[in-house]
Amino acid sequence: MSEREITSLTNDTVKAVRALHMRKEREATGRFLAEGLKFIGEALDQGRAPKILLVGQDARPHPLLDRAKAETRKAGGEIVVVTHAILEKISRRDNPQTVLAVFEQKYTPLDALKPETAPCWVALEQVRDPGNLGTIIRTADAAGCGGVILVGDCVDPFSVEAVRATMGSVFAVAICKATPAEFLAWRASWPGSVIGTRLDATSDHRSARVVRPSLVLMGNEQAGLTDDLAAACDVNVKIPMRGRADSLNLAVATGVMVYAMTEDA
């Protein structure tokens, strides 16, 4: 398919891509928006080609851009050349990236996860902040975790803010979602340790005896980990709080936990 040029801010493709800022539209289409060549490169490395590649008229030639165009074409996707004003409108930014892309969302079913393929996995209960979720996905990837499981009513991992905060790791780790009941049923066959994180726990996070693969459960930003999920853990741990702060930010606490669980992995 050849490249198509769009200059009108009211073009249907422009409106459809911009609408991906809305959860309702992402759910209806199963698609999401990613910004920048770095993200697109991460996706291509994971065998994921854009459904739509939007290239700014002023985008500089780059080997990765050539690859993105070739792989988009090969996968039957669409390439559109757009004005700077359209990039601003779609990204809702004054200083937009010169290449944007629309991808299909991918959730891995819980039953398809292979726990032994990674030393650590993360489950998040009712995470509400997209920046936290994106940072956790990025950190889980960096620490060598296999995936992130969203339990209960969580923020959308494919929101533009969450995806931005992943810095491309949204393509690198498995993302699953489950109701609390589904999660608890599945957890029963987890082959390693299940570790809850609670401020009222008495065990230090480094002293818990852990059998890999570990599954680390993190709680909601306000309410913490619910009693039901904490009760399903082999052990609940606390990261020491040495100053006046009574808790860590959720993403920071997850970072501390996953690095502790993957040490020497």
Residues that bind ligand SAM (CB under 6 A): 197, 199, 218-219, 221, 224-225, 238-239, 241, 247-248, 250, 253
Amino acid at 10: T
What is the nearest approach in angstroms of ligand SAM to the Cβ of residue 148? 14
Question: Which lies closer to ligand SAM via its Cβ, residue 17 or residue 239?
Answer: 239
Which of 69, 128 has the CB closer to ligand SAM?
128
Cβ at position 248, least distance to ligand SAM in Å = 4
Our CB check for ligand SAM shows the closer of 142 and 248 to be 248
CB-nearer residue toward ligand SAM: 90 or 216: 216
Which lies closer to ligand SAM via its Cβ, residue 130 or residue 219? Answer: 219
* Per-residue H/E/C for 110-135: HHHCCHHHCCEEEEEECCCCHHHHHH
Least CB distance to ligand SAM at residue 146 (A) = 19
Contact predicate 4/79, CB 8 Å: yes
- Residue with the shortest CB distance to ligand SAM: 224
CB of 181 to ligand SAM, least distance (A): 20
**Residues 91, 94: Cα–Cα separation, whole Å:** 8
Query: Quick check: 254 and 165 in contact, CB under 8 A?
Result: no
Asked if 184 contacts 194 with a C-beta cutoff of 8 angstroms, the reply is: no
Q: What is the smallest separation between the CB atom of 68 and ligand SAM, expressed in angstroms? A: 37
- Whether the Cβ atoms of residue 251 and residue 139 lie closer than 8 Å to each other: yes
Nearest approach in angstroms of CB 250 to ligand SAM is 4
Instruction: Say how far apart CA 189 and CA 258 lie, in whole Å.
Output: 21
- Least distance from ligand SAM to the Cβ atom of residue 153, Å: 15
- Please identify, using beta-carbon distances, which residue of 102 and 253 lies nearer to ligand SAM: 253
**Pick 59 or 248: Cβ nearer ligand SAM:** 248
Question: How far is residue 31's CA from residue 78's CA, in Å, rounded to a whole number?
Answer: 14
What is the distance between the alpha carbons of residues 212 and 182, in angstroms, rounded to a whole number? 22
